[in-house]
Amino acid sequence: MLDQIFIRDLSLRCIIGVFPEEREKKQDVLINVVMSVDLTRAGQTDDLHDTVDYKRVTKEILTTIEPSRFLLIERMAQVVADICLADDLVMHVAVTIDKPGALRFAKASAVTIYRARHET
C-alpha cells in the first residue's frame, strides 16, 4: 500500500467550457490531487529529494492551467495527472476538477480521473 500526498482545493481562474460565453471570461476551477507515493525513505532521511516537491508540482499546475483554454474539465484533469506522473516517485494519481457555478442549483460540476504510471 502506498502513501499519499495531497494538494487540496487549489483555486484558480482560466478559460474553460464549450459554450461561446464560456470562451470569453475566465472562470473559477478547483483542483484536488492525490498522489500515491512510497514515502518510506523521506520519512527516514527528512530530505526533500526523497519525496515529491508538492510546491513545485503546484507551481507547474498553476503555470500550465491558468493560461489554458480547454473545452472540457476532463482534458484539464488529464493534463494535471500528466504533470504529477512526470515525477518518477508518483505511482498513481487521482485528480478532481470542480467547476463551481457551471450548473444552476448545483454547487459545482466535477470530474475525477485516476491514472497510474505505466512501467516500460
As annotated, the active-site residues are: 99
Neighbours of 22 (CB within 10 A): 15
Contact in structure between 80 and 101 (CB atoms under 8 Å): no
Question: For residue 17, how far is the Cα from the chain centroid?
Answer: 17
CB 65 within 8 A of CB 76: yes
User: Between vectors from CA 108 to CA 105 and to CA 113, what angle results, nearest 5°?
Assistant: 145
